[in-house]
Amino acid sequence: MTTSEKNAISPRRSEDFPEWYQQVIRAAELAEPSDVRGCMVIRPWGYGIWENMQRQLDAMFRATGHRNAYFPLFIPLSYFAKEAEHVEGFAKECAVVTHTRLEAGPDGKLKPGSPLNEPLVVRPTSETIIGASYAKWVQSYRDLPILINQWANVVRWEMRPRLFLRTTEFLWQEGHTVHETEAEAREETSRMLGVYESFAQDYCAIPVFAGEKSESEKFPGAVQTLSIEAMVQDRKAIQAGTSHFLGQNFAKASGIQFQNREGRQEYGWTTSWGMTTRMVGTVVMMHSDDDGLVLPPRIAPEQIVILPITPKEETRPKVLEVCDALALQLRGKRFADAPIEVEVDKRDLGGGVKNWEWIKKGVPIRVEIGPRDLEKNSVAVSRRDQPIKSKEFMSIQEFAANASEMLMSIQNNLYQRAKKFQEENTRVIDSKDEFYDFFTAKNANKAEIHGGFALAHWNGSRKVEEQIKNDLKVTVRVVPFGKGEPGKCIFTGEPSPKRVVWAKSY
RNA sequence: CGGGCUGUGGCUCAGCUUGGUAGAGCGCCUGGUUCGGGACCAGGAGGCCGUGGGUUCAAAUCCCACCAGCCCGACCA
């Protein structure tokens, strides 16, 4: 009844953030859990977001010289076992195929039949299987660089799944490159991190910290891992994209060798980099509110929905005609290098119900057109980044002319809002006490949203990192690039080359 | 994989202690009244109460086993 006071999502963010997150996803029909433990069904609205991410990233990969290819889902155990650190890092979360064929047992139930000679690992990542191909393809320095990307699903048998953020099977892209020199490979590693950084900021409206992972957080088998870290609305950090400099570790493991310019055999220098469907979850936690999803226009499956208001049957045809005409006009316009995506929602549903559905789905702009608007030649426009009840009235022509600009304004506003939030919750900290205070909830029983990113000096010791993780569940998220101001480690008093970013994380 | 909790229509749950073969709200369907707003009225569909076994004249309710899920720990894009 008192609709104005009620929020569409319960609980609110401030009451129970993890539960709020699940409810937003459900209400927006992004995805749902499946009967297969840890796996999810991605519904059209959620998959549409992923497709937009894919399309954009793919264009960026092409623009930086990469081409797509596809490698097998199954990795022979022996391949997988070649890089020691790599195996150790992934062993616990591998799904392993050991049999082919199903046979009916004595009880009539189907059972696995013939054992395989060599078990197959379902790829948790593809360095080793791709390396095997690269070893064949690379003979000479003239074959380099190899710049390939693959869009694929991978499986990591996680203990605690969460829709989009951590599922047993997930979708991603993995780039794998081989270079003639260390310098080139390092350059590639940071170039691709740069691609992720601009993708996150310009398309997902997500401000990030970019930098290098600490020794304990880096990819198993990598020499160096770079990542971008975003702060979502519960002030935790989430890793949104990673790029690894693998040195010659995997080249040695897979036998990727080439004859260099001096005629000597040399191992290639490889990199790998990836972004996953986790980005969809990151967008959800970044921008959404207590009324549901809020989507940045550049990745929204549809940017504008037109809602015909047809209280009387006799006015209906005319209203629909005007709606269709507007939709057609809008589709002819472009927003950020692509045609505007518009839907006219003609379903026979109560106006309020329909409106709230689109609010919960986070469509950037809702346009209402009814009989009275026809008379005045006006439309009622609502932006998802503004309060739910606010509407702006303007002529149809004016709206059509400004739609693209309005979408850009929403895009920018979401970014600015997120940036402000990140800045407000990032603190320079110079004492251990303040650090512990910052990361400790006031209410021990039901922890409120607290903390954020702490910029603090650290001596680089793994032991200190371990201690902090045990005490507070806080880790070094990233060591920012660049020189930075030297100082003293706030935990040991030892010298520190620069401040690093600390936070609780997903 | 260890510790705690829970499995009842699509969703949230009541009933279980004190056994007697199922309830509510929301959602869904139909009709009507509404309709610039997630409305209202009336009617209706939908559950062998996680699975298997046991106790009993009788089990959603008691006992055992298994399975699944949630929360907490170790891991993670």
Measuring alpha carbon to C1', the residue closest to nucleotide B39 is: A1
Q: CA nearest A309: which of A256, A354, A242?
A: A354
> Could you say which architecture CATH assigns to the domain A426-503?
2-Layer Sandwich (3.30)
Whether A37 CB is under 7 Å from strand B: yes
Q: What is the pLDDT, as a whole number, of residue A227?
A: 95
Residues 269-298 of chain A with CB under 7 A from strand B are 274, 276-278, 291
For β-strands A265-267 and A378-383, DSSP reports them as unpaired
**What per-residue string of b and e applies to A201-235 under the rule 16 or more CB within 10 Å gives b?**
bebbbbbbbbbbbbeebbbbbbbbbbbbbbbbbbb
Whether A368 CB is under 7 Å from strand B: yes
Nucleotide with smallest C1' distance to residue A372 CA: B36
Q: What is the pLDDT, as a whole number, of residue A397?
A: 94
Nucleotide with smallest C1' distance to residue A307 CA: B36
Q: What is the DSSP letter of A286?
A: H
A74 CA from B18 C1′ (Å):
59
Integer Cα distance of A121 and A504 in angstroms = 32
CB distance A172 to A178 below 8 Å:
no
Residues 217-276 of chain A with CB under 7 A from strand B are 217, 219, 227, 239-240, 242, 274, 276
Whether A192 CB is under 7 Å from strand B: no
For β-strands A269-276 and A169-179, DSSP reports them as antiparallel
Measuring alpha carbon to C1', the residue closest to nucleotide B11 is: A26
Whether A92 CB is under 7 Å from strand B: yes
Whether A165 CB is under 7 Å from strand B: yes
Say which CATH class A297-417 falls into.
Answer: alpha beta
**What per-residue string of b and e applies to A367-389 under the rule 16 or more CB within 10 Å gives b?**
bbbbbebbeeebbbbbbbbeebe
Residues 134-163 of chain A with CB under 7 A from strand B are 156, 158-161
Say which CATH class A17-287 falls into.
Answer: alpha beta
Nucleotide with smallest C1' distance to residue A393 CA: B36
Per-residue pLDDT of chain A (506 residues), as tens digits, is 333 357 888 888 888 888 888 889 888 999 888 777 778 889 999 999 999 999 999 999 999 999 999 999 999 999 988 888 888 888 888 888 888 887 776 666 677 778 889 989 999 999 999 999 999 999 999 999 999 999 999 988 876 778 888 888 899 999 999 999 999 999 999 999 999 999 999 999 999 999 999 988 899 899 999 999 999 999 999 999 999 999 999 999 999 999 999 999 999 999 999 999 999 999 999 999 999 999 999 999 999 999 999 888 888 889 999 999 999 999 999 999 899 999 999 988 887 889 999 999 999 999 999 999 998 899 999 999 999 989 999 999 999 999 999 999 999 999 999 999 999 999 999 999 999 999 988 876 667 788 999 999 999 999 899 889 888 889 999 999 988 899 999 999 999 999 999 999 88
What are the C-alpha distances in Å from A318 to residues A55, A322, A332, A396? 37, 6, 22, 15
A453 CA from B8 C1′ (Å):
45
Q: What is the pLDDT, as a whole number, of residue A395?
A: 95
Nucleotide with smallest C1' distance to residue A380 CA: B36
Integer Cα distance of A423 and A209 in angstroms = 11
Whether A352 CB is under 7 Å from strand B: yes
Q: Is A177 exposed, middle or buried (0-12, 13-18, 19+ CB in 10 A)?
A: buried
Q: What is the pLDDT, as a whole number, of residue A204?
A: 97
DSSP state letters, A357-418: HHHHHT-SEEEEE-HHHHHHTEEEEEETTS-TT--EEEEHHHHHHHHHHHHHHHHHHHHHHH
Whether A75 CB is under 7 Å from strand B: no
Domain locations along chain A: 17-287, 297-417, 426-503
Whether A307 CB is under 7 Å from strand B: yes
Q: What is the pLDDT, as a whole number, of residue A105?
A: 67
A35 CA from B47 C1′ (Å):
20
Whether A309 CB is under 7 Å from strand B: yes
A55 CA from B58 C1′ (Å):
64
A349 CA from B29 C1′ (Å):
14
Residues 379-438 of chain A with CB under 7 A from strand B are 379-380, 391
Measuring alpha carbon to C1', the residue closest to nucleotide B37 is: A352
A55 CA from B14 C1′ (Å):
49
Nucleotide with smallest C1' distance to residue A3 CA: B38
Measuring alpha carbon to C1', the residue closest to nucleotide B76 is: A158
What is the token pair recorded at A227?
Answer: 């990542």
Integer Cα distance of A454 and A428 in angstroms = 6
Nucleotides of B under 7 A from a protein CB: 1, 34-40, 68-77
Q: What is the pLDDT, as a whole number, of residue A445?
A: 63
Integer Cα distance of A303 and A404 in angstroms = 10
Nucleotide with smallest C1' distance to residue A281 CA: B77
What is the token pair recorded at A121?
Answer: 């690992």
Whether A444 CB is under 7 Å from strand B: no
Whether A167 CB is under 7 Å from strand B: yes
Nucleotide with smallest C1' distance to residue A279 CA: B77
A33 CA from B13 C1′ (Å):
21
Nucleotide with smallest C1' distance to residue A351 CA: B37
Nucleotide with smallest C1' distance to residue A309 CA: B36
